[in-house]
Chains A and B, each alone.
Chain A
Amino acid sequence: MTSPTSPVFAEDCELTNGFGSEPISVSTTPIPAANSGRRTTKRWSFHNDSKPNLVERPSEASNQGRRRLSDITGVDGVHKEIDANHISPAQLYSTESGRLFHAGKICIVLAGLPGRGKTHLSVSLTRYLRWLGVKTHSFHLGDYRRRNFDDLDQSLFIEDTKLRLKIINECTNDMLNFFENDKGQVAIYDAVNPFPKNRFELHEKFKNLNIQTLFIESSVTDDTIIMKNMESAAASSPDYANWDYDKAYKDYSDRIKALMPYYIPMGDEDDNNKLSYIKFINFGERIELHNSNYGYLINKVVFFLMNSRIKSGSVFFARCHNNSINYSDDPPLDTNGKTYAKNLCYTLIEHLQKQRKEYVENIDLGIQDEDGTPGTNTPTSLKQKRSFSLDEKHLPAGADGVDVNSMVVWTSVKKRTIESTKYFKAANINVRHRIQLSQKNPGVVGSMEEDEIKEAFPTEYEQYLKDPYHHRFSRAESYHDLAIKIEPLILEMERMSGDVLIIADESVLRVFYGYLMASSCFDIPYLPFSQDEIIEIKFNAYANVASQIPIKDFSCK
């Protein structure tokens, strides 16, 4: 519960806007330049004429028309620099200052030894906050070090040498610029930050500039997590590009060893300095909040941290069959749809078997029941009854996706998507139906083609072209509405360690994909999902990777 004192993150008294709302009355009076640093009442919303001209905006997305298929396997956009007028997929409104007005400027400072997943943490937080419409950027001190020096002299990581101060200054300067000139709201400072003294100095420095600091210390007591992180750093860290793996592994482990004696974990001294900090232990096993002030954004961050897991599974996207029918109709699957359902399931199981996923081991695509569902070699359910004893203390919950070796299929509540999962159910894979996965409500334009819309609603159509992501036809949902609706599912997806398959309408898949690959809202409405492939997204500490799996024909099998 929040204590009765007013939240520190409030700026002025404009704490009142929440997730999903937008100001009604918009004053169009321009603000005097002298006032530009302060919160003002002038805000523009997506439905107001004063918003930036997106068409003339130099963006690769401003050229209209359908995008090519190859776009979907593009790279993760989470590291892209965002310009000052950038609008995010789930962003609710914008302000003159470019920031959400229920939270001020925040610097999230990470702390922790190398190999503690700080980069993963900063990247996934950036992804989530940007998606929410909070202008966020991660600043990895390592990037600045690499830009300045080629060698990996250990002293660079510890001593306050001139060289070290130079990189820190460069990075800090970029953060300040991000706040001052790029309308940034949250900067994430990814560095070891080993000393309470420096942490306090950083806090003081930002405080004087009216920027709140929140420290997040990632600490790991579980050696297997550290080993895994070290392996992945040796294999994929930019520090070790072109290195021999074993040599890289040794160097990285030496670096950690060298830093270990210097690092002072956050604790009493930071408490005395009244720093707000979160200890994030073993990637979410335990989270401790110290001197918390519970602003809107901080609560969101904590909620995200609670659901954030190291992911080894993938997210798969598949379109539901025949999504060009009327929004309100709910017909069952036709013959083609049934074939599609089978091909989809078999293709995915075959793909997973190639990856040696244990949970599909016993499914035999050769054996079929009378109705064509795949057989299993073991007649009993794959789920094992769990044992109980106090000695084992904590057993994994029965929730979906807790087990790395598991898969869940999500669909909407429409008949055709429910029926599409028949083969998965037969293979003992959990299937969940969620109302939020229903296609975007097209409102008055219904199943009209683009030229029909153009004819029937010429002015609305023009507005739609300017901003297809946010435009809401009468009685319709926009992509933006959809993004807000599926937020709980996004967090649920973040929590699952196993695989997830989402079978849904193209409009819904676009929004999910947009989140995972940090697509801009100029691209999302044009992302193509075709019915002859499954899109797989693999999680990676630095960037997610998308790939296509062509759906094979199993109908004669």
Chain B
Amino acid sequence: MPVYSISHVENVRVCVVMVGLPARGKSLIAQKIVRYLSWLSIKSKCFNVGTYRRKLASPTGADADATFFSPQNKEGVKYREEAVQSAIKDMMGWFLDENGVVGILDATNTTRDRRDQVLRICRENYIEPLFLESWCDDGELIRQNILDVKTTSPDYIDKDSEFALSDFTKRIEYYKDIYQTLDASVDKNLSFIKLINVSSHVILNRIESYLESRIVYYVMNLHIKPRSIWLSRHGESEYNLTGQIGGDANLSERGWKYAKKLPELVLKSLGPENQHTNLTVWTSTLQRTQQTSSFLPYKKKLSWKALDELDAGDCDGMTYEEIEQQFPEDFKARDDNKYEYRYRGGESYRDIVIRLEPIIMELERQENILIITHQAVLRCIYAYFMNVPQEESPWMSIPLHTLIKLEPRAYSTLVSRIKADIPAVSTYKEKGTSQLGESDGGNSVRSRDLLKGDQTK
């Protein structure tokens, strides 16, 4: 039976309809919502009308420059209308055939006519429309966003930067002529969020369900400052040496070596120009993560119960071999569905995701953070940033004595990792065996390479 941390997924379906001119961060917000909800096992998908338009018009070269977006360009209008209609059609198909829960229509949706049309289709299909407008008149913010267009919009990948700038500015002007912003009195019956100048003013209108309020809360916690997040497992522990799981063991000798080397690894990862960057260190409440953090020079070190390792319940302190012998059925059940399997008296990966949710919310609000925690918890955090599907995330290999750096960007997250070059046992267990360690081919399991990259795109 599915258990959701956000509730009422059982009977609510929401269509988030983005509204706003180009260069207002709509796609960024849309992508983040999809990532967040998917991680919470709420089926969500983004339907980007630009992608549909490119598929239709780009082969003909019709959308090569801004004139394509002029309301007077009949061919352009036709292509764009067709793109919107197929995006909506696909989204409705997805809601009905694939039991989607939150669909996001990522388009400008600048006119009331268009929004009424989406509204009608949603209502006819018992889907709750939630309009999300990003509105901005702060010249500096807009300029920043336009400058980023070269790197964020697929339309300008092979184009000259200067052309990209002027063409994109022209495109925005075309939209401005027909733009009707969401209005508290005219649109008073709609569910909507209007973000004005990146949240300095916000209007929340008729947020009717808990699921919608979670989406709104999440969006309000996002910020656009550049930052990095570092992830590390604790150093090798005494339990790692004996192959036992769980417990609250101390670091092994090699584990302490890693702890001593960690400050140096962090500096290396920061690069020469950022040596003085101040990080906040988060650990779990267990000995081995706090010991691993003990040589870091940063003042802010916090421990979180929510970062504790997956609770193996009755199997706590056992080796995989012992589990296989004593609880053969459980051992197999876990391999068959590792994400859902809940140890007797313990937790499943899904349970971890539920308890990590406030951590993720806090991470979105924070800047540079170094998290020292445990294998299962790291898999879940990593899965959030890299959008790894839940059937794969419990099988990801995250070796000991390795520092991982995540740099969240508008459309994806960059990953890099630094090995400490201190030997440690492997705690990776492949499917169908109680032996630890990674086999070369990895053919029986889909063990993921950490550097494979973000799955959002």
Contact = CB atoms under 8 A, between A and B. Distances in A.
Interface of A: 1-4, 16-25, 41, 284-292, 294, 296, 299, 302-303, 306-307, 326-329, 386, 388-390, 393-400, 402, 413, 432-436, 441, 474-475, 481, 484-485, 487-489, 491-492, 495
A292 B198 CA distance: 10
A475 B285 CA distance: 10
Given A1-B224, A294-B220, A390-B123, A399 B208 contact: yes
B180 to A, nearest CB: 17
A18 B366 contact: yes
B200 A306 contact: no
Given A299-B217, A328-B313, A386-B126, A291 B200 contact: yes
A492 B7 CA distance: 8
Interface stretch (B64-72, B187-195, B262-270, B382-390): B187-195
Contacts of B248: 474-475
B441 interface: no
Interface string B201-221: 111111111111100110111
A328 B345 contact: yes
A4 B190 contact: no
Contacts, number: 205
Given A16-B280, A434-B3, 5 more contacts: A1-B220, A393-B189, A432-B7, A432-B8, A488-B5
Looking at chain A's contact residues, is the secondary structure mostly helix, strand, loop, or mixed?
Answer: loop
Contact of B303 (A21, A474, A489): A21
Nearest to A290: B201
10 shortest A-B CB distances, which residue pairs? A328-B345, A393-B189, A18-B362, A2-B223, A399-B209, A21-B302, A289-B202, A287-B204, A1-B222, A388-B123
A412 to B, nearest CB: 10
B197 A3 contact: yes
Interface of B: 1, 3, 5-8, 10-12, 25, 29, 116, 119-120, 123-124, 126, 128, 184, 188-191, 195, 197-213, 216-217, 219-225, 248, 280, 282-283, 290, 293, 299-306, 311, 313-314, 316, 344-346, 350-351, 354-355, 357-359, 362, 365-366
B305 A4 contact: no
Given A21-B302, A24-B283, A303-B217, A285 B206 contact: yes
A329 B11 CA distance: 31
A306 B282 CA distance: 30
B156 to A, nearest CB: 24
Contact of B358 (A20, A435, A475): A20
Given A292-B199, A306-B217, A433-B1, A399 B303 contact: no
A328 B346 contact: yes
Nearest to A385: B126
A1 B199 contact: yes
16 contacts: A2-B198, A18-B302, A20-B362, A21-B282, A25-B301, A285-B205, A288-B202, A289-B202, A290-B201, A292-B202, A394-B190, A397-B209, A402-B209, A434-B3, A435-B354, A487-B358
A391 to B, nearest CB: 10
B201 A288 contact: yes
A20 B305 contact: yes
Nearest to B1: A433
Given A394-B189, A434-B7, A488-B6, A4 B300 contact: no
Contact of B119 (A328, A390, A413, A434): A390
